[in-house]
Amino acid sequence: MPTDQFGVDGKTVVITGSSQGIGRVTAERFARDGADVVVSSRDQEAIDAVAEGINEQQGGDAIAVECDVRDRDAVEALFEATDQRLGGVDVLVNNAGASFMAGFDDISENGWKTIVDINLHGTYHCSQVAGGYMAEGDGGAIVNLASVAGIDGAPYMSHYAAAKAGVVNLTSTLAFEYADEDVRVNCVAPGYVATPGVETQMGVSAEEIDRETVERRIGLEEEIADLVQFLASPASSYVVGETIVARGVPDIMETPEV
């Protein structure tokens, strides 16, 4: 059975927050399948290394463009560089994010604004600018990264949970508005994923996780990249405005013994 509908060969893909973790693995996945990727974060040295690795080993081309998604001028410069060097943009992956743990009463206004600005305001900036390029071209796909925290809430991460809840809602709203422009907007809400950050906090590394094991609540970066590519590809052409939750075995209330 042909699987061409899952392909992204020849697409130009911008991935924010791609110096490490899910963003980096997603960039490598797209490039391996023939897409040209723009890796971006606030750390030019780190994304230079990612782009260099992709260009040495993968199928597509990669360029690195430094960008703070909170800065509108920087976001516009990111997409201008993408357009000039690669000829437009077909896919945007809004992956840039940040958080820290603190009780609600201990979060300063600056701390709250910083997390909301990166996770939600950054998604606004990038989606609005990329959407303009897509509308002028042949349409495209925007894939947002939210979190189960934005669906269920998260104690001691209220700022992050609120921002990600905004991303989930923005996804469905923007999907409706952008449909006339042939731009599909969808979202992935991961649970725990074995990123470098999770390894630091929880002591669980990707090497300890078997992808073929069903009974688990920690996923792999590659498993999230698979979902992102699906939502960016023609295979998901009838999926619009949806949030796919990926958190492993659901945590449900068991039937009490009688």
- For the annotated catalytic residues, the residue numbers are 160
d(CA 156, CA 174): 29
Please name the residues in contact with 172: beta carbons below 8 A apart, sequence gap of 6 or more. Answer: 241, 242, 243
Three-class SS state of 165: helix
DSSP string for 46-110: HHHHHHHHHHHHSSS-EEE----TT-HHHHHHHHHHHHHHHSS-SEEEE---------GGG--HH
Using CA atoms, how far residue 171 sits from 20, 152, 186, 256, in Å, is 24, 17, 6, 38
Element (H, E) at 249: none
d(CA 20, CA 3): 29
